Amino acid sequence: MYAIVNILGQQFKVEEKQQLFVHRLEGAEGEEVKFNDVLLVDNGGSIKVGKPSLSNASVSAKIISHVKGDKVLVFKKKRRKGYKKMNGHRQYMSKIEINSINA
């Protein structure tokens, strides 16, 4: 059984007991969160598709930890002008584990 769920503007294909990284969620570590914006549910070949989302489906997950992602370097340069600029960015993320998919 899997579902496609919208979490903070990104769509993820999730299964039970799966761990994944999403953008930073509100809530403390160990707290339960529920996502109601479920777009598709596949239960052993029986597929339900929402228009745009399923009204009675939800996905519950547990926040495992809050972490920072890998560093992304942004380098800007204009040739023959002596202009160089280096900037770095690390995205705040949350690691979650999917507990159950209710369809």
- Main-chain dihedrals φ then ψ at residue 57, nearest 5 degrees: -105, 150
Measured over the CA atoms of residue 25, residue 26, residue 27 and residue 31, the dihedral's sign is: negative
Q: Measured on CA atoms in the order 4, 7, 11, 17, is the torsion positive or negative? A: negative
pTM across the whole model: 0.84
CB 67 within 8 A of CB 100: no
User: What pLDDT was estimated at residue 103?
Assistant: 83
Walk along the chain (103 residues) and give the pLDDT tens digit of each residue.
Answer: 999 999 999 999 999 999 999 999 999 999 999 999 999 999 988 999 999 999 999 999 999 999 999 999 999 999 999 999 999 999 999 999 999 999 8
The values of phi and psi at residue 38, to 5°, are -95, 125
Domain ranges of the chain: 2-102
